[in-house]
Structure 1
Amino acid sequence: MRIVVQRASRGRVLVNGEVTGEIGRGLVLLVGITHDDTEQDADYLAEKVVGLRIFEDAEEKMNLSLLEVAGAILSVSQFTLYGDCRKGRRPNFMEAAKPEQANRLYEYFNDKLRSLGVRVETGIFGAMMDVELVNDGPVTLLLDSKKSF
């Protein structure tokens, strides 16, 4: 799994002009899933995201986690994180998981985040979405479960 983590002061997702998910302070996650990802990958990344100390404390140092600032998560499925642009001009998405597998693991990941005590809002899997966010900092990190074990 790959996740782009963006610290946000606010974010929302719209599908056909309708808001499907909206947060204030927290994290906007773009979540990509590949063929061999498992629940172990999702568990690892959920715990990593919730525990990342990327929010500022009273001394303006990144020392606080999402839970410590009572932040929320806006989770957006993003198969294009597995786009391969090495050849030609059109990305190859062969490394992205098939929709059925990806949706199952994406939902599992979101449920895991919720079980860790975080409010999670989402877009709609497979839909054309407009994602809006105000990146706070800016702070943007890349996580990849295959680079963790």
Structure 2
Amino acid sequence: MKIVLQRVKEASVSVNNQQLGDIGQGYVLLVGVSDDDTQADIDYLVHKIKRLRIFEDSDGRMNLSIHDVQGQILSISQFTLFANTKKGNRPSFTDAGAPDLAANLYDQFNASLRRNGLLVKTGEFGADMQVSLVNDGPVTILFDTQHQ
């Protein structure tokens, strides 16, 4: 699995001009799934994300977790994280997970975040989504379970 995590002040996602979810302070997660991903990848990522300390404390140091700031998560499926651009100018997406498997693992990932006490809102898997956000920092963290 690959995740691009962005610390945000606020974010929202819409499909066909209908807002599906919005959050205040927290994370936008762009989530890509491959055919090789398993529950172990989900468990690793949830563990890291819920404990990640990238919010500022009273001294201005990145020392607080999403729990500490009562933040929220906007999780967006993003198969293009597996784009291969080595040949030609048109990316290949053959490394992205098959849609049925990817949708299932994406749902399991979000459910696991929720079971760990996080408020998670999502877009619509496979849809053409419009994501708006106010990046905070900017702080962007990359996770790749195949290259830990």
TM-score bracket relative to the smaller structure: over 0.9
The separation in 1 between residues aligned to 2:130 and 2:16, in whole angstroms, is 9
Which amino acid letter does the alignment assign opposite residue 20 of structure 2? T
**Is it true that 1:106 corresponds to 2:102 in the alignment?**
no
> Unaligned regions of 5+ residues in structure 1, if any?
none
Q: TM-score, normalised by structure 2?
A: 0.99
Q: TM-score, normalised by structure 1?
A: 0.98
**Is it true that 1:91 corresponds to 2:91 in the alignment?**
yes
After superposition, give the CA deviation of every residue in 1:10-33 in whole Å (9 maximum; x if it has no partner).
Answer: 000000001101100000000000
**Is it true that 1:76 corresponds to 2:76 in the alignment?**
yes
User: Secondary structure of the residue that 2:103 maps to in structure 1?
Assistant: helix
- How many residues end up aligned between the 2 structures? 148
Post-superposition offset of 1:147: 2.3
Q: Residue 48 of structure 1 aligns with which residue?
A: 48
User: Secondary structure of the residue that 2:6 maps to in structure 1?
Assistant: strand
Q: Residue 14 of structure 2 aligns with which residue?
A: 14
After superposition, give the CA deviation of every residue in 1:59-118 in whole Å (9 maximum; x if it has no partner).
Answer: 000000001110000000000000001110000000000100000000000000001100
Report the RMSD for the aligned CA atoms in angstroms: 0.6
Q: Residue 39 of structure 1 aligns with which residue?
A: 39
Which amino acid letter does the alignment assign opposite residue 69 of structure 2? V
The separation in 2 between residues aligned to 1:55 and 1:76, in whole angstroms, is 21
The separation in 2 between residues aligned to 1:42 and 1:19, in whole angstroms, is 27
After superposition, give the CA deviation of every residue in 1:25-71 in whole Å (9 maximum; x if it has no partner).
Answer: 00000000011000110111011111100000000000000011100
The separation in 1 between residues aligned to 2:147 and 2:32, in whole angstroms, is 14
Q: Residue 118 of structure 2 aligns with which residue?
A: 118
The separation in 2 between residues aligned to 1:21 and 1:87, in whole angstroms, is 36
Q: Residue 130 of structure 1 aligns with which residue?
A: 130
